[in-house]
Structure 1
């Protein structure tokens, strides 16, 4: 479904060019639940932004269903079937929650159907369906509404950048259930940027990115013991989380 070929992303700063993503190669297959993890500043979120077209690679290619989308903009990628949930959700003054979910679904959903998506992310639909997606909503509320819109879109590939950021414990527990249902019921693939153990535990595959490169990639059962609390991995885990 999605292939990143020799992907590189450089930025210029006061000291000259700096490599953020370095010759990265990754393939995400159909129907897979993949989590990208790694130390802060390692390039996880940048990789997600390159996939969505928010950033443009310095070199390399991005293929989606065999089509080269490297030079496509965000809208074209969305129309092909890629959805993106930001780490910090966007506010839309003057747009109601119902309108946002209908826009995501690309059809005129009934109020009942739209409310169902809100209920799936733990929001009381009658309290939110007619509210504006603006500063009156908390970060956690916005996060859940954004995830509801991604659910409504039912994309071939849904990308979530640290979906747990800014939400409380109850919402996080509900979020895990949402992802578990997506994993069972979706016909597309799911890519999540996260370092939360409970999200890693429901992945099919885990990709570890550090210093702009993939340093490990495999099944959950292969990768989890190397980055979490097994006795044999304590030292490696300490080094992993202190590379910044």
Structure 2
């Protein structure tokens, strides 16, 4: 479904620093893929290249065989790619109901909206007409963003470190929400994360370090190697998010 071919990108402020180097990656249909690796390895940059926020200096981005390399984030959203930022945007004056309907791009009746909210553990009565502003916690706004992804039903949904800035209780519930999302959305999901519990529910794991893909394969093959850091057998540990 999604193909990256020979994607390379250097830092805008330092043309000599390579962030992504000759990246080849395929994300198949209906896959739950987690991209992990040390901090500064290029994970968020890769997500932004896929979403159309950043344009690679070389290489191609293909969606269902069509070259979308030059398409911006709005064009890619229309083509079926959804991007969820580390820090979700808040919209003063807009209600949760309005935001979900806008994300879906179609009219939703109240029972359908309430059903989505219930699935992510938010009481519909308390949230459907609530304003999307600073009164919402990090965990709440991220769950609402997941509801938007459920309602949008796009080909590919990208989450950039969804665990960032939320407390342990919210993170525990976030794992359950992603399990629900995996069942509800027929498209693929790509998550940037170094959290072991998110890696444990992936279909495939991609390890990105120093701008290179160092491993990619089924969870049952990649995760044990990541967790086996004794004796320096693995260069990266998802329990700490640091190089071993």
> When the two structures are superposed, what TM-score results if normalisation uses the length of structure 1?
0.92
Alpha-carbon deviation of 1:176? 1.4
Cα distance in 2 for residues equivalent to 1:239 and 1:87: 22
Instruction: Tell me the equivalent position of 1:4.
Output: 4
Alpha-carbon deviation of 1:160? 0.8
Task: Specify the SS of the correspondent of 1:31.
Answer: coil
Deviates more, 1:109-118 or 1:199-208: 109-118
Within-5 A mapping of 1:147-226: 147-226=146-225
Q: Is the aligned partner of 1:235 residue 2:219?
A: no
Within-5 A mapping of 1:44-193: 44-193=43-192
Q: What runs of 5+ residues in structure 1 fail to find an aligned partner?
A: none
Cα distance in 2 for residues equivalent to 1:159 and 1:25: 18
What is the CA deviation profile of residues 215-241 of structure 1, one whole-angstrom value per residue up to 9, with x for unaligned ones?
Answer: 01111111111111x4x7552346555
Alpha-carbon deviation of 1:156? 0.9
Provide the aligned length of Structure 1 versus Structure 2.
241
Query: Conserved in 1, the CA contact under 8 Å of 2:88 and 2:141?
Result: yes
Cα distance in 2 for residues equivalent to 1:239 and 1:62: 27
Q: What runs of 5+ residues in structure 2 fail to find an aligned partner?
A: none
What is the CA deviation profile of residues 157-207 of structure 1, one whole-angstrom value per residue up to 9, with x for unaligned ones?
Answer: 111111112222232222212222232343211111111111111111100
RMSD: 1.8
Query: Conserved in 2, the CA contact under 8 Å of 1:162 and 1:192?
Result: yes
Query: Conserved in 1, the CA contact under 8 Å of 2:38 and 2:236?
Result: no
User: Given the superposition, is the C-alpha separation of residues 238 and 80 from structure 1 closer, same or farther in structure 2, using an over 3 Å criterion?
Assistant: closer
Alpha-carbon deviation of 1:133? 1.3
User: Given the superposition, is the C-alpha separation of residues 81 and 206 from structure 1 closer, same or farther in structure 2, using an over 3 Å criterion?
Assistant: same
Cα distance in 1 for residues equivalent to 2:115 and 2:174: 15
